[in-house]
Structure 1
């Protein structure tokens, strides 16, 4: 009985370790990082700007969406597949496979289904960052890099 308890404890601990932290400190999308000051002026015009509570959502013509705090700090950056091709700092691009995401970032992720997409989430508690890869049919459609616990 004691061996069974130890074995089950090991499996539970191993499962918990799978969904752990990774270092996202170097991650950026189009040179932008969460938790940094936001420069509204860009080469592309704004196509939509709305308030989300006290934060602002700003979408540019090139397909980059930002959520910005009242203090003008970037909380989230998102790119969508229907716009021009994008690439994260780790080399993951739209239409890349889930296998490539896991190969580049590892197996310390969690998943959920949202709006018909399977979302792979990596977190960095030390740097308070989260990176999400929204996938459809095993291919990346959206990459979102955001500040942890601020949205």
Structure 2
């Protein structure tokens, strides 16, 4: 009986852990993808540049922020809510509802509360990607696409 409970517990836990994994391959924001070479020169000037650990954080005048490795590889791409509503690959943009995010990407997400926002996180373990939708009052405010385990 104890062995049966242990096996059932293991299966339930394994099932819960696998629920949060989806395919994010090909996902990009503003034409950029994590794990690709970064071109620092863009149409917009840099307004903020700072070192975060061994990585470089660059925010451009158009509001896009990149975190780049010492090898010049994109680790994270982030957009802010005040930017014009450009879309992610799945057609999700700032101001969209949480319902639209779930309808487009599914129920395989985790949530947390951070800095007053509810963050919906989708993970792709195979491609080592994470996509986050930071929401306030049920509306997307920030979209972040980043590599898993490198930041």
Aligned to 1:51: 51
TM-score of the two chains, using structure 1 as the length reference = 0.90
RMSD, aligned CA: 2.1
Matches of 2:103 and 2:43 in 1, distance apart?
34
Aligned to 1:77: 77
How far off is 1:84 after superposition? 2.1
Mean Cα displacement is larger for which, 80-89 or 63-72?
Answer: 80-89
Q: Which runs of 5+ in 2 are unaligned?
A: none
Aligned to 2:105: 105
- Asked whether the 8 Å contact 1:79–1:86 carries over to 2, the reply is no
Look up the SS of the partner of 1:21 in the other structure.
coil
User: What per-residue deviation string (whole Å, max 9, x for no partner) do you get for residues 43-78 of structure 1?
Assistant: 111111111111000000111000000000000000
Matches of 2:91 and 2:98 in 1, distance apart?
13
Q: Relative to 1, partners in 2 of residues 1:18 and 1:101: Cα closer, same or farther, differing over 3 Å?
A: farther
Aligned to 1:12: 12
Match runs of 1:90-129 below 5 Å: 90-129=90-129
Look up the SS of the partner of 2:104 in the other structure.
helix
Q: Which runs of 4 or more aligned residues in structure 1 lie more than 3 Å from their structure 2 counterparts after TM superposition? A: 8-15
Q: How many residues align?
A: 149
Q: Relative to 1, partners in 2 of residues 1:143 and 1:108: Cα closer, same or farther, differing over 3 Å?
A: same
How far off is 1:86 after superposition? 2.4
User: What per-residue deviation string (whole Å, max 9, x for no partner) do you get for residues 103-125 of structure 1?
Assistant: 00000000000000000000000
Q: Which runs of 5+ in 1 are unaligned?
A: none
